[in-house]
Amino acid sequence: MTEVSVRPVVSSPSAKRSQLIDVDVHERADLQALVPYLEPMWRKYITDFGWQPERVLPYSQYAAGGLDRLDAKLPDGRPGGSDYDLLRRQLLDEHDIDYAVLTGWLDASALQPGWAEFKTALMSAYNDWQIADWLSRDDRLLGSVHVNAHDPIGAAREIDRIGSHPKMVQAILYIADKAFGDPYYHPIYEAIARNNLALGFHHSENAPTALGFHRYFVEWHTLVPQVFMSELVSLIFNGVFDKHPELKVFMIEGGFTYVPHLMSRADQQYKELRSEVPWVKRMPSDIIRQQVRFATQPTEEMSLTQFMRLIDWCESDELFCFSTDYPHWDFDSPTEALPQGLSEDLQRKIFVENAQNGYAKMPALRTAGQ
């Protein structure tokens, strides 16, 4: 690896962002709210048969509000992200956000295999509800097409049905226990590519670690980045990036300190073993630099020097995109999460440009100072 001097650091406390894209914001549906969007035959799965989202995690989130920021829960007991007005006040207005990419909730606890057609229909209902209840209410909200990955043809059909909606910028897969580079899932990526969308991967409570679900929540939560590494390795070595060289992939809610290790390790293995996967034509680190973006949340406290060295090790300052993960308990504030003293140039990349360059359908921003 060679060193590149990425950017001079201008350690000016007055360097201030004027624009902000948040690539991970969770709106939340009550399951009952989706019933009207379903065909009658699928409604019965909820109303009569009592289907509930499947949740594998053997603990709940160890925080005062459980999954949510305590102040993001509604007085009537509804979970964070249920109410547009509160989300607008606490997130969009409070932090002066230009665009927020909605990343949903239902998939996070749902979508194990089983009842594939019902779940494909449920995702369609979710997307229609998302458009009606969220995207149509605020110009700043952008959407994610939710799909049932266990029905790849149905997922592709859903992407073709709704992916051309002007506010849909990506299709999103919640990571559970499947390696999504398998050709079984490739119809999904073909549909994403022909609809000019990005592909988002988001963590879920159904994602295991290499040794399953450990005894404590803190163990599981420490090891969250593993499934992100696994998905990237699966996509890279199964040729998804080679089949779709224009595809951009967002890794959401796994942090980013694992990226240099993954690049270094994958490159080394590629050098030694690439004849096993001759369809992979580029070094994994090059593929990542060219086609992958990482949402920053949850950030780890680090000094400015360490953050810059991490970027330097990645040999790119275009990989990281800011995200809050509102309304969850480990919310990252745009003013506090990243080290102080980032140069204006780097701030503009992390807070705005890297997301803009990753989402082909991201609308133009209001101009600075407007």
Give the type of residue at 305: T
Q: Which stretch binds a second copy (CB under 8 A): 46-54, 93-101, 136-144, 263-271?
A: 263-271
Tell me how far, at minimum, the Cβ of 350 lies from a second copy, in Å.
Answer: 18
Burial of 216: CB neighbours in 10 Å, binned 0-12, 13-18, 19+? exposed
- What does the block give as tokens for 281? 């034509």
Closest approach of a second copy to the CB of residue 289, in Å: 16
Choice between 140 and 274, CB closer to a second copy: 274
Smallest distance from a second copy to CB 8, Å: 18
Spell out, one character per residue from 300 to 339, where the chain touches a second copy: x when CB under 8 A holds, - when not: xxxx-xx--x---x----------------x---------
85 vs 301, beta carbon nearer a second copy = 301
Of 42 and 180, the one with the shorter C-beta distance to a second copy is 180
For 330-334, the CB contacts below 8 A with 24+ separation are 330/63, 330/297, 330/298, 331/69, 331/297, 332/296, 332/297, 332/298, 332/299, 333/95, 334/17, 334/20, 334/22, 334/95
CA distance 362 to 271: 36
Binding mask 125-154 for a second copy (x = CB under 8 A): ------------------------------
Residue (221 or 282) nearer to a second copy, CB:
221
Q: Is residue 279 involved in binding a second copy (CB under 8 A)?
A: no
CA angle 19, 255, 88 (to 5 degrees): 40
Gap between the Cα atoms of 136 and 92, Å rounded: 15
DSSP 8-state class, residue 212 = B
Exactly one of 200, 260, 327, 334 binds a second copy (CB under 8 A); that residue is 260
- Give 196 or 226: the residue with its C-beta nearer to a second copy: 226
Backbone torsions φ then ψ of 215, nearest 5 degrees: -75, -25
Residues composing the chain = 370
Per-residue CA distances from 288 to 85, 159, 192, 233 (Å): 37, 24, 18, 10
Piece of the chain touching a second copy by CB under 8 A; list 123-131, 173-181, 188-196, 197-205: 173-181
Collapsing DSSP to helix, strand or coil, 350 comes out as: helix
Cα angle for residues 268, 278, 226 (degrees, 5° grid): 45
Site for a second copy in 174-233 (CB under 8 A): 177-179, 181-182, 207-212, 214-219, 221-223, 225-227, 229-231, 233
User: Smallest Cα–Cα separation from 209: which of 234, 233, 230?
Assistant: 230
Smallest distance from the beta carbon of 90 to a second copy, in angstroms? 20
Binding site for a second copy (CB under 8 A): 1-3, 62, 177-179, 181-182, 207-212, 214-219, 221-223, 225-227, 229-231, 233-234, 237-238, 255, 257-258, 260-261, 264-274, 276-277, 298, 300-303, 305-306, 309, 313, 330
